[in-house]
Amino acid sequence: MSRPVAAPPVLTRSVVLRVGPWSFRAGRRTLVVSGVLLAAALGVGLLGLCLGGGSWTAPGEVLAALAGHGDSVVVVREWRLPRVVAGLAFGAALGLAGAVFQSITRNPLGSPDVVGLDAGAYTGALFAITVLGGGPGTLAGSSVAGGLLAAAAVYVLSLGTRLSGLRLIVVGIAVNAMLTALNSWIVLRADLDVAIAATGWSSGSLNGLDWDEIAVPIAVIVALALLPAALSPAMRQTALGDEQAIASGVRLNPLRLLLVLAGVGCTATVTAAAGPIMFIALAAPQIGRLLAGTAGVALAPAALAGAVLLSAADVVAQVLLAPVALPVGVVTTVIGGCYLIALLARKARRAAGPPAS
Amino acid sequence: MKTDSSGRRAGARTDSSGRRAGARAGSSERRAASAARRRVVVLAAFVLLLLAALVASVCVGARAIAPADVWRALVGADGGEAYLIVHDVRGPRTLLGVCVGAALGVAGMLVQTLTRNPLAEPGLLGVTSGAGFAINVGGLLGLAGGQAGQLALASLGAALTAVLVYALGSAEPLRLVLTGVALSAVLSGISLGLRLTLPDVFDRYRFWSIGSLAGHEQAPLALPATTIVLALAGAVLVTRPLNALVLGDDAARSLGGNVVRTRVAVLVLVTLLAGAATAVAGPIAFLGLMVPHLARRPAGGSVPWLMAYTMVLGPVLLLASDVTARVLLPTGEVPVAVVTAFAGAPALIWAVRRRGRVAA
């Protein structure tokens, strides 16, 4: 590929890294923002390690325990660390899935939780528990299948309506409502012990996760995250519009299929492990985009913002009503719903009133 | 039959054969008469459906009762098992279903007609969840004791949510739906949090987070039923001015209508209907969406007929959903809101797709 003759000013403020045949280019601001978000995520993670279970441990002691010294080694390493790691990894996965879907639909509202993929993945998980009764592998596979089916249903039902922004979303809302109804029917039909387990998990919760439960999901998430990362240059081209993307050598349909697979995979893996956690996938990509000041949805800031959001929401969920451990999904729903309403209000003002400037 | 696809407003779609009728002016009167006859026939069919739904609602359940036994229980007072079930459980529950179904159907129809938005519906716009949330919060403050208190709280919550959602999302039909869904999500999250914090206080109010007709057979129906009946009467009175408003604000004004007064009256009625229905049955979504869409084609753009059909079809759909809710599980029953959501969401998809085709 030939270099442009006169690079626009934006490109000059970017960092290019070349290793052999591979090259990597990122905006300087994106890099700085990603670094700051990473630091914030680690900070929130440390806070989560200090706080867990309603009691406070000094940060120094936590760090010592992480290194393997002191009295609280078991508490910190075996009890709190899995939860914190899960919060960071699952948040990143949800942020990534949201970024992928928002860039495919070119719509800040087109995230997997709004269009019903979480509910579909949850249906798959419930089906695995109540009917198939298999192990974690069946659970993960079934929830991925549920998410894919929900995605396919939303896509097919929005065909012929020009897939235009809000219409896709409202079809997604309808599919979401049907799946949620189906889910509550499955839970009510199930045996009592299954039903109790499923209800505790139905609003999305990180309570009581241990290493055995999160090892496989995290490995899957890391593997899936490589896919959008590898495809991100092509994603940037598609942000310019279909014609532009095809003209610059992007094969659109295979790209979209791979991205949808990665996005649904991330969402479904998180749902299988922690239940449907709403609104992280909606908010994180937009927060990352605002901070990084990019035109399209940038992947790394979105994933890191998701990690920060979910772990912060989990800390809030543990502290807010201290003896009661709220499911983290409740906190993300309230915060994310308010965010969605604010988003809509801003758009409505922009649509109704004269331009502010 | 090929329908007039360009007829976006209901009024333009009175009859697909209308244009042909214009060519043969002599037959237009006969056509109008046949249209009126058809509407009456449809209404009679709907009333028959309602009767069937009433019978099914009394007969079907954990213990099936033969229609003959129901009749015997209704006319005589033998005090047997069937008598007890019919008089104390299924009868009141069926009445409740009729009231709530009519209230939600008419509320949906009024909102859709007023906002000219085929996707509007109290459940989907979050108005019923607002009412349920108000009862939950009232319970926390110790206000939701009596039935009148609950009714007042529900109406207040419904009014506040309606105003909020409408202020945020009125610019575009689809956006209105999205705003309502987001607001419902926030309110349900807060309700769940409150309930987890104070489980003993909120166990009584859990009912108002998901709509169901079960478990309230013994509650006195007089106050909510009176409210609903009065509001329905008000809705009947408002059909004429609303029929003019359908033509547009200017046309309504030149026909001698008071546009602002009609609007306010309709909003008050919607609030009362949705609030009262939620106070007795919890938030039930999608019913107010489905019913007017089913009723619109036979009504053919006439608001009074639409109102009549909605009043009959609302109870039919709710009772049918309630009967389904009773038989879906081998043990116990599903909340009826689950059934209406499953049956009604396709109506939303259909409405959205239809709008898509019209706009394209």
Poorest-pLDDT segment among A146-155, A249-258, A276-285: A249-258
Minimal Cβ distance to A337: which of B185, B338, B352: B185
Q: Residue B61's pLDDT is what?
A: 76
Residue B332 covered by a domain = yes
DSSP annotation of A159: T
Alpha helices (H) in B170-302, listed in sequence order: 173-197, 199-202, 222-245, 249-254, 259-281, 287-299
Q: Is the model's pLDDT at A3 over the cut of 60?
A: no
Q: Would you tell me how many other CB atoms lie within 10 Å of the CB of residue B297?
A: 13
Encode pLDDT of A60-84 as tens digits: 777 877 777 777 777 777 778 888 8
Q: Which residue has the tokens 């509550």?
A: A184
What are the tokens at A205? 């919760």
Contacts of A290 (CB under 8 A, 6+ apart): none
Minimal Cβ distance to A181: which of B175, B186, B341: B341
Encode pLDDT of B165-197 as tens digits: 888 766 667 778 888 888 888 888 887 777 777
In 3D, which of A27, A30, A32, A39 has the Cα closest to residue A308? A39
Give CA–CA dist B274/B229, Å, rounded: 13
State how far the alpha carbon of B298 is from the alpha carbons of B36, B38, B47, in Å: 11, 8, 14
Instruction: Provide the percentage of residues in chain A whose pLDDT is more than 90.
Output: 7
In 3D, which of A91, A114, A97, A157 has the Cα closest to residue A297? A97
Contacts of A60 (CB under 8 A, 6+ apart): none
CB-based contact A333 B186, cutoff 8 Å: yes
Residues of B in contact with A338 (CB under 8 A): 186
Å from B296 to nearest chain A CA? 21
The sign one gets for the Cα dihedral A9, A12, A14, A18 is positive
> If you average pLDDT over every residue of chain A, what do you get?
80
Q: Would you tell me how many other CB atoms lie within 10 Å of the CB of residue B154?
A: 32
Å from B357 to nearest chain A CA? 7
Task: Find residues 265-304 of chain B whose CB sits inside 8 Å of chain A.
Answer: 285-286
Q: Is the model's pLDDT at A247 over the cut of 50?
A: yes
Tell me which residue range forms the domain holding B282: 35-359
Å from B321 to nearest chain A CA? 13
Q: Residue A171's pLDDT is what?
A: 85
Residue B107 covered by a domain = yes
Q: Is the model's pLDDT at A237 over the cut of 50?
A: yes
CB-based contact A333 B189, cutoff 8 Å: yes
In 3D, which of A231, A223, A203, A237 has the Cα closest to residue A325? A203
Q: Is the minimum CB–CB distance between B198 and chain A shorter than 8 Å? A: no
Residue B9 covered by a domain = no
What are the backbone angles phi and psi of residue B337, rounded to the nearest 5°?
Answer: -60, -30
Q: Residue A199's pLDDT is what?
A: 64
Q: Is the model's pLDDT at A116 over the cut of 80?
A: yes
For chain A, domain boundaries: 27-347
Q: Residue A94's pLDDT is what?
A: 93
Poorest-pLDDT segment among A170-184, A204-218, B105-119: A204-218
Residue B344 covered by a domain = yes
Average pLDDT over residues A256-273: 87
Q: Residue B315's pLDDT is what?
A: 93
Contacts of B253 (CB under 8 A, 6+ apart): B259
Give CA–CA dist A176/A356, Å, rounded: 36
In 3D, which of B355, B347, B224 has the Cα closest to residue B291? B347
Amino acid letter, residue B54: L
Residue B15 covered by a domain = no
Q: Which ipTM was obtained for this model?
A: 0.76
Residue of higher predicted confidence among A325 and B48: B48
Structural fold of domain A27-347? ABC transporter involved in vitamin B12 uptake, BtuC (1.10.3470)
- Per the rule left: phi > 0, alpha: psi between -120 and 50, beta: everything else, B120 is beta
Number of domains in chain B: 1
Residues of B in contact with A330 (CB under 8 A): 189, 192-193, 196
Give B27's Cβ-side CA count (13 Å radius): 11
Q: Is the model's pLDDT at A91 over the cut of 80?
A: yes
CB-based contact B196 A320, cutoff 8 Å: no
Contacts of A257 (CB under 8 A, 6+ apart): none
- Intervals of chain B under pLDDT 50: 1-23, 358-360
Chains A & B: contacts with CB separation below 8 Å: 133
Q: Are A30 and A292 in contact (CB under 8 A)?
A: yes
Q: Residue A351's pLDDT is what?
A: 60
Residue B4 covered by a domain = no
Alpha helices (H) in B173-221, listed in sequence order: 173-197, 199-202
CATH number for the domain spanning B280: value is 1.10.3470.10
Residue B63 covered by a domain = yes
Q: Residue A333's pLDDT is what?
A: 86
Nearest CA in chain A to B184: A337
Q: Is the model's pLDDT at A164 over the cut of 60?
A: no
Q: Is the model's pLDDT at A7 over the cut of 60?
A: no
Give B128's Cβ-side CA count (13 Å radius): 33
3-class DSSP state for residue B339? helix
Q: Residue B171's pLDDT is what?
A: 61
CB-based contact A347 B179, cutoff 8 Å: no
Residue of higher predicted confidence among A53 and A86: A86
